[in-house]
Amino acid sequence: MLCFMSVHDDLSRRHFGKGLRDSTQVACVQKNRDIAQAKACGSGLLMTLAELQILIERMYSEKDRQRGTAATFLWFCEEVGELAAALREGTHEQKSSEFADVLAWLVTLANVNDVDLTAAIEAKYGQGCPGCGNIVCTCNAKP
Ligand SMILES: [Zn+2]
């Protein structure tokens, strides 16, 4: 399923197919995508990590780039604090909401710093645990 705008060209190619190699074409596709598609992804259909990154790019990254990484990181930390409070004494709904906030702020920090999270996760965890190399981690496991 196609959603939202691209974070950068590599991500765009993944989402918009081999026919759209050039960023101008991708920009046109991006322009024509509307928020209804964004809502469709959040209303029962699966959203990939890349689609989340694209959604957050569209919603917040321009503002967050202007604010800068350091100030944006402080917002992220504030949300982590709110998650800590929710984990300690919140309802399931409050915990869910705070997880969403923390993830959104983490994703916007990645966008502001031009990090493709899908590529980063694939590179670091795609072949198993970075420590032991196994899909089910056996680090520190006793024989
Ligand atoms: Zn491991």
Ligand 1 centroid, distance to 105 Cα (angstroms): 27
- In eight-state DSSP terms, residue 61 is I
pLDDT at 88: 98
Rounded distance from Cα 142 to ligand 1 centre (Å): 12
Residue 88 tokens, joined: 């300690």
Residue bearing the bigger pLDDT, 5 or 114: 114
Q: Which of 19-23, 75-79, 102-106 has the lowest mean pLDDT?
A: 19-23
- Break the chain into its structural domains and give their ranges: 9-125
In CATH, what number does 9-125 get?
A: 1.10.287.1080
Q: How confident is the model at residue 46 (pLDDT cuts 50, 70, 90)?
A: confident
**Quick one: pLDDT at residue 50?**
96
Q: What is the pLDDT of residue 40?
A: 55
What separation in Å is there between the alpha carbon of 120 and the centre of ligand 1? 18
Amino acid 61: pLDDT: 85
Q: What's this model's pTM, rounded to 2 decimal places? A: 0.68
Q: Which helix (H) or strand (E) holds 78?
A: helix 69-89
